[in-house]
Amino acid sequence: MKKGITALFLGMIFVLGACGNADDTNTSENLEAGEEVYRNNCAACHGADLSGNGAPELTDIGSKYSQEQIEDIVQEGIGSMPPQTQVEGADLEELASWLSEQ
């Protein structure tokens, strides 16, 4: 009896594991490059959903600033936000491009 229950349990684990969603949009492989940079560098202060989380919200940042202006803000800081020196090069361009579309 115990062998049957164990086999059933292991079979269920196998079947349920095979039903996993490989297209999960929350994995970093499926994020746009700029969104991934945002999540890794900006989301802690500005919120994963751009809602602010204690810092200014960025939900409509693209209607306020151009991509170039966003790059300048990230590099130089603005208000109480210090310069984000760890974001540079292609990451900075991808981040600013993604944010300018928000």
Cα–Cα dist 78/34, whole Å: 20
- Cβ(95)–Cβ(41) below 8 Å: yes
- Name the range with the highest mean pLDDT among 3-7, 23-27, 60-64: 60-64
- Cβ(51)–Cβ(42) below 8 Å: no
pLDDT band for 26, please (50, 70, 90 cuts).
very low
- Cβ(56)–Cβ(64) below 8 Å: no
pLDDT band for 22, please (50, 70, 90 cuts).
very low
| Segment 2-19 mean pLDDT | 56
- Give the model confidence (pLDDT) of 50-64 as tens digits: 999 889 999 999 999
- Cβ(47)–Cβ(38) below 8 Å: no
pTM of the prediction? 0.69
User: What domains appear along the chain, each with residue ranges and CATH number?
Assistant: 32-102 (1.10.760.10)
